[in-house]
């Protein structure tokens, strides 16, 4: 028997085209996924979303969408109960459900959408909109190898994918890579503010902080070197970076402990969203 192929789904319904659903849709379209195979269900589409769907020929809020090969659920976890009845009607017996809801377990989803057998729980992140996302994913035992390959192709079309050995790891993934872009954006805010405090005009400091984090991220992306080696490459012995890092890497009181607390708090919140 031939092996199942890695391929994008032939039909997909995206439920919830807000910040993350919208980011994934942008990524899929930019990666050349055929728009005529995609339908979007979104009660409050932004102007940009309506324009994107109109321009690219993606069906926005079709009357009675046929059960798709893949249904991507991208509403808020708190909206699941209210949306569940309508959503279950969209699921066919062969539909693969891909949920990106923080906290909601495969069991939670099954309870609300009883028709869904095959479920992939995935945690993408916002850079998916430019094809540079990072996703952790776990599949229920009903997901066939062919379906897992379709989910993999779909998620991989917008960035890196890590298949997790156990669903139980996904709350930690959520806290690290799902929420992670926000930590990095906040780093830009902090660096810019620190630059202002050090005497730079606000707009100059903001431009420098943004370009620095973007450039450092791009270097990490392109380089084979570890983050630690790249850090050392910036740090001249007895120089300015070493003086700055002495504060940032202080033990106790440095960024390491703060980041550990940050990730622990985000993971705890993901756990609270279950049920």
Ligand X SMILES: NC(=O)C1=CN([C@@H]2O[C@H](COP(=O)(O)OP(=O)(O)OC[C@H]3O[C@@H](n4cnc5c(N)ncnc54)[C@H](O)[C@@H]3O)[C@@H](O)[C@H]2O)C=CC1
Ligand Y SMILES: O=C(O)[C@@H]1CCC=N1
**Cα distances (angstroms) measured from residue 201 to each of 13, 195, 197:** 47, 8, 9
Whichever of 73 and 102 has its CB closer to ligand Y, that residue is: 102
- Residues whose CB falls within 8 Å of the CB of residue 52, separated by 6 or more in sequence, listed in order: 22, 25, 26, 29, 58
Bridge partners (DSSP) of residue 135 are: 161
Determine if 42 is a binding residue for ligand X (CB under 6 A). yes
List 3, 5, 44, 224, residue binding ligand X (CB under 6 A): 44
Whichever of 10 and 46 has its CB closer to ligand Y, that residue is: 46
Q: Which does 75 bind (CB under 5 to 8 A by kind): ligand X, ligand Y, none?
A: ligand X
List 14, 29, 72, 102, residue binding ligand Y (CB under 6 A): 102
From the list 34, 31, 109, 114, the residue with the least C-alpha distance to 73 is 109
Omega cis (within 30) before 252: yes
199 φψ region: left (φ > 0), alpha (ψ -120 to 50), beta (else): left
Q: CA 143 to CA 115: how far, in whole Å?
A: 14
Whichever of 139 and 205 has its CB closer to ligand X, that residue is: 139
From the list 119, 121, 166, 161, the residue with the least C-alpha distance to 143 is 119
- Among positions 88-147, residues that touch ligand X (CB under 6 A) are 100-102, 123-126
Whichever of 43 and 199 has its CB closer to ligand X, that residue is: 43
Binding mask 155-174 for ligand Y (x = CB under 6 A): -------------------x
State in angstroms the smallest separation of the CB of 122 from ligand Y: 11
Whichever of 20 and 70 has its CB closer to ligand X, that residue is: 20
Determine if 65 is a binding residue for ligand X (CB under 6 A). no
SS3 of 195, please? Answer: helix
- Among positions 254-273, residues that touch ligand Y (CB under 6 A) are none
140 in Cβ contact with 120 (< 8 Å): yes
List 8, 12, 53, 75, residue binding ligand X (CB under 6 A): 75
From the annotation, which residues make up the binding site for NADP(+)? Answer: 74-77
From the annotation, which residues make up the binding site? Answer: 74-77
């Amino acid at each position: 028997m031939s092996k199942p192929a890695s391929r994008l789904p032939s039909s997909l319904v995206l439920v919830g085209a807000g910040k993350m659903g919208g980011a994934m849709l942008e990524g899929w379209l930019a990666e050349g996924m055929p728009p005529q195979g995609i339908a979007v269900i979104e009660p409050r589409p932004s102007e940009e979303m309506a324009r994107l769907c109109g321009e690219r020929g993606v069906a926005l809020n079709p009357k009675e969408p046929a059960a798709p090969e893949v249904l991507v659920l991208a509403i808020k976890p708190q909206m699941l109960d209210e949306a569940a009845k309508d959503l279950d009607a969209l699921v066919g017996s062969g539909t693969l459900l891909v949920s990106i809801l923080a906290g909601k377990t495969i069991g939670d989803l099954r309870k609300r959408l009883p028709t869904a057998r095959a479920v992939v729980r995935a945690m993408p992140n916002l850079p998916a909109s430019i094809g540079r996302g990072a996703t952790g994913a776990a599949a229920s035992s009903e997901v066939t190898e062919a379906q897992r390959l379709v989910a993999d192709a779909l998620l991989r079309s917008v960035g890196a994918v890590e298949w997790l050995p156990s669903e139980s790891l996904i709350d930690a993934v959520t806290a690290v890579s799902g929420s992670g872009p926000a930590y990095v954006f906040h780093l830009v805010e902090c660096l810019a503010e620190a630059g202002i405090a050090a005497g730079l005009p606000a707009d100059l400091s903001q431009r420098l902080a943004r370009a620095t984090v973007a450039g450092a991220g791009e270097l990490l992306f392109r380089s084979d070197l570890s983050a630690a080696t790249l850090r050392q490459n910036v740090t001249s012995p007895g120089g300015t970076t070493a003086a700055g890092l002495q504060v940032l890497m202080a033990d106790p009181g440095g960024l390491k402990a703060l980041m550990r607390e940050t990730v622990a708090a985000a993971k705890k919140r993901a756990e609270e969203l279950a049920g």
